[in-house]
Structure 1
Amino acid sequence: MISVKLPTLNTNDASYVLVEWLAEHGARIEKGQPLVVVETSKAQEEIDSAADGILHTLVAGGADCRPGQTVAHVFDSADERHAYLSAPAAGPPEPATDAGPTLTKAARALVEQHGLTDDVLRGLGRTVIRAADVEALLPGAAQAGAATGRHLSAQQRAVGSVVTESMRTIPAAAAYAKVDVGRAQDLARHLRQRTGSVVSLLGLLVKAVADQLPAHPDLFARLLDDGTVQPAPRAHVAVAVDAGKGLYTPVVHNPAALNVAQIADLITGFRDKAVRGTFRTDELTGANILISAHTAEGVVFATPIVFPGQTCALSLGGIDEQLVLDQRGRPEVRRFTYLGVVYDHRVVNGRDAMAFLGDLKRALEAPAALAAGAEGDEDAPEQAGERPA
């Protein structure tokens, strides 16, 4: 007999929701077969079977569960399963069939608070009902929210937990640089036309950040509990995405090996998944540096948090057009942004952070090298390189 235990899918969560079983109770399954869908505060994740055998589930779909909990057994044979069931105190009984939907703990509390009936819940047409589903049923929920308060979503509670841990444990310092991004924006527009990908200033920055790993390894390192600074073999850059349904930090893994068009396609996909809430766990883990874009009109700069386990976070402000004098003293309009770096002062000193910020500024102000490998980059406009005098 092999026990199916839930792995740790999100270090910030103490509990998950077992959304549904993908194999029937008592069915014969194969190693590698998708077995169960588990929802964390960030994403839904499929867990595969680790062995061939007969599935015996212990936790029903829709139930709360925790990391490390045994949710099923896989038996080698029907005889082994029969012996298990026949033994005294064999464990939890087989899940009963329920004609109604399954409610999460938070959803059930709301149902009891507002006296919703089973018929109303069945009208949702869902097998698993969460707190957000119940909130949508409440009359005048949007108007009443300000007066009666609202429950924080599991995702927002997870965000709050990360922010609290960061503020509690990381002595952070910050600095900002004013960057002329006119050439970078021109290059992004050119690459959009040549590749069909939605290349943006953010995508160019992801590429520029990844390229800095060899020169600035401490900005990508991890500080261990024993005081050891563990270097990162590759840069994995998280990008903060909020499509109005919660904050996500999906990861562009090893962007140094990608061109900017490929990075742009990944970022576009991230935005779509943020709207639908369909991220996989592997898309949200593994980052060793973060970029948070605050490009709404009128936003000059912002200060992100350094995620626990990382030593650096970057912010990208909105574009500000300013009138300046060129090298001949003639007025011209240029496009600027403020690029911020927040860093763990235990690992990184101000001099190193300033050098990192300066290299990023130079990469964006003379961005031709960032286009390497993208389709059509051999036709990149001259303005992506040096500005004529």
Structure 2
Amino acid sequence: MISVKLPTLNTNDASYVLVEWLAEHGSRIKKGQPLVVIETSKAQEEIDSTADGILHTLLAGGADCRPGQTVAHLFASADERHAYLSAPTVDPTARPEPATDAGLTLTKAARALADQHGLTDNELRGLGRTVIRAADIEALLPRPAQAGAPTDRQLSAQQRTVGAVVTESMRTIPAAAAYAKVDVGQAQDLARQLRQRTGSIVSLLSLLIKSVADQLPAHPSLFTRLLDDGTIQPAPCAHVAVAVDAGKGLYTPVVHNTAALSVAQIADLITGFRDKAVRGTFRADELTGANILIAPHTADGVVFATPIVFPGQTCALSLGGIDEQLVLDQRGRPEARRFTYLGLVYDHRVVNGRDAMAFLGDLKQALETPAALAAGTEGDEDAPKKACEPPT
């Protein structure tokens, strides 16, 4: 057994923070492989493994530690590790929990910065990270103006959160994109009928949200979460986030258990989301748990849009504005039709082009022949009943 001890990284520090492990507990690692990230008062340092072996960690991410402390063991074989775990003085489950705050994991330096600058937990959750470090907090803070520079207004903390999430997406997700042209004449007609029947503000967006959720059984890979160890976590049901910007900042509230809702119920939620976006009164649970995102770009004249895949998700959709075009019917006569374009951006580590095209094709068919989307509206006996547990 080889003990993994922390070196002295900064002679002025008596303690560090173990930010995160770069190798899985119980996995076999190689000499020289990045092992753990340690935060000192000045910087973050990656420490490499000094030998081959099976890793047994003793501290969890976010825990305090000190120079010279043993934070893990390396075992030459599974038998050696089993003998260690079987010793009566060893509790194999005794690993400290990370320092958490309302579901967040922050390093000590990150928590101090967040408290100093009055950042709320909702702003921190918007980073979409499992462990929040001091550098992540610094990205949210306004930069001091340089001498002689124009005194422009500072970005809001919320906008800096958006910027940090977009930066993380661009840095970590190898994204590809595809687009589909969809005839939405029948879908818009159905939305108008449902508005009259239910009194809810049903729109093309409401129908798209419903049709996206209905695709989970046929296209599960587009709803998965890619984990750090290279495995994917399937989604038991669809939780669809919708980008909402009412002029007070961008929010991405979530329609949870979407497939279990009717189009009218979805429309009521979207209406409520817009009101909350104006007032800034979202609850934390309304902004978390999504496994796919829809970004509406429906202003007049906007045709194509390329959305951002949020960290922790695999794909995102955009909905463009309505484009009325003259086309030839089956007899060769011109007629006006209403089209929109769906933009799909997907993590190419998880989804290949063939699967993305099939997903877009099924969405196109669902919106061009939308009668099935009306099921479950008020007075309909075929309302969907199945739901799943809310996300954690």
**Cα distance in 1, alignment partners of residues 277 and 331 from structure 2:** 47
State the Cα distance separating 1:328 from its structure 2 match: 1.7
Preserved contact between residue 295 and residue 318 of structure 1 (Cα < 8 Å): yes
Q: How many residue pairs are counted as aligned between the two chains? A: 266
Preserved contact between residue 201 and residue 271 of structure 2 (Cα < 8 Å): yes
**Cα distance in 1, alignment partners of residues 336 and 193 from structure 2:** 20
Letter in 1 for 2:357: M
State the Cα distance separating 1:38 from its structure 2 match: 5.5
Report the equivalent of 1:294: 297
Report the equivalent of 2:103: 8
Letter in 1 for 2:250: L
Report the equivalent of 1:40: 122
Letter in 2 for 1:216: H
**Cα distance in 1, alignment partners of residues 104 and 199 from structure 2:** 35
State the Cα distance separating 1:376 from its structure 2 match: 5.3
Preserved contact between residue 9 and residue 40 of structure 1 (Cα < 8 Å): no
| Superposition pairs of residues 153-192 of structure 1, within 5 angstroms | 153-192=156-195
**Cα distance in 2, alignment partners of residues 372 and 233 from structure 1:** 22
State the Cα distance separating 1:329 from its structure 2 match: 1.5
Letter in 1 for 2:288: T
| Superposition pairs of residues 270-349 of structure 1, within 5 angstroms | 270-349=273-352
Decide which of 195, 208, 224 is 2:227's aligned counterpart. 224
Preserved contact between residue 102 and residue 121 of structure 2 (Cα < 8 Å): no
Does residue 257 (structure 1) correspond to residue 339 (structure 2)? The answer is: no
Does residue 375 (structure 1) correspond to residue 384 (structure 2)? The answer is: no
Q: Deviations over 1:9-56 (max 9, x none)?
A: 599x96656999xxxxxxxxxxxxxxxx96532799xxxxxxxxxxxx
**Cα distance in 1, alignment partners of residues 379 and 114 from structure 2:** 46
Preserved contact between residue 43 and residue 277 of structure 1 (Cα < 8 Å): no
Does residue 152 (structure 1) correspond to residue 161 (structure 2)? The answer is: no
Letter in 1 for 2:265: Q
Letter in 1 for 2:196: Q
- Tell me the secondary structure at the aligned position of residue 230 of structure 2: coil
The verdict on how the C-alpha distance between 1:270 and 1:348 changes in structure 2, with shifts beyond 3 A counting, is same
Letter in 1 for 2:103: T
Report the equivalent of 2:93: none
**Cα distance in 2, alignment partners of residues 312 and 366 from structure 1:** 24
Q: Deviations over 1:181-220 (max 9, x none)?
A: 0000000011001100000000100000000000000000
Report the equivalent of 1:211: 214
Does residue 350 (structure 1) correspond to residue 350 (structure 2)? The answer is: no
Preserved contact between residue 19 and residue 38 of structure 1 (Cα < 8 Å): no
State the Cα distance separating 1:149 from its structure 2 match: 0.9
Preserved contact between residue 104 and residue 125 of structure 2 (Cα < 8 Å): no
The verdict on how the C-alpha distance between 1:42 and 1:269 changes in structure 2, with shifts beyond 3 A counting, is farther
CA RMSD of aligned residues (A): 3.1
Report the equivalent of 2:81: none
Letter in 1 for 2:102: P
- Tell me the secondary structure at the aligned position of residue 340 of structure 1: strand
State the Cα distance separating 1:152 from its structure 2 match: 1.2
Letter in 1 for 2:276: K
Q: Which runs of 5+ in 2 are unaligned?
A: 1-98, 134-140, 382-392
Letter in 2 for 1:240: A
Letter in 1 for 2:236: P
**Cα distance in 1, alignment partners of residues 272 and 303 from structure 2:** 27
**Cα distance in 2, alignment partners of residues 282 and 264 from structure 1:** 19
Give the stretch that moved more between structures: 322-331 or 160-169. Answer: 322-331
Q: Deviations over 1:257-300 (max 9, x none)?
A: 00000000000000000000000000000000000000000001
Q: Deviations over 1:58-86 (max 9, x none)?
A: xxxxxxxx989xxxxxxxxxxxxxxxxxx
Letter in 1 for 2:213: A
The verdict on how the C-alpha distance between 1:340 and 1:219 changes in structure 2, with shifts beyond 3 A counting, is same
Q: Deviations over 1:205-263 (max 9, x none)?
A: 00000000000000000100110011100100000000001100000001100000000
Give me the identity figure in percent.
79
Letter in 1 for 2:123: S
Q: Deviations over 1:92-135 (max 9, x none)?
A: xxxxxxxxxxxxxx89x99xxxxxxxxxxxxxxxxxxxxxxxxx
The verdict on how the C-alpha distance between 1:18 and 1:367 changes in structure 2, with shifts beyond 3 A counting, is farther
TM score, norm. by length of structure 2 = 0.63
Decide which of 238, 242, 248 is 1:239's aligned counterpart. 242
Q: Which runs of 5+ in 1 are unaligned?
A: 21-36, 45-65, 69-105, 111-145, 379-389
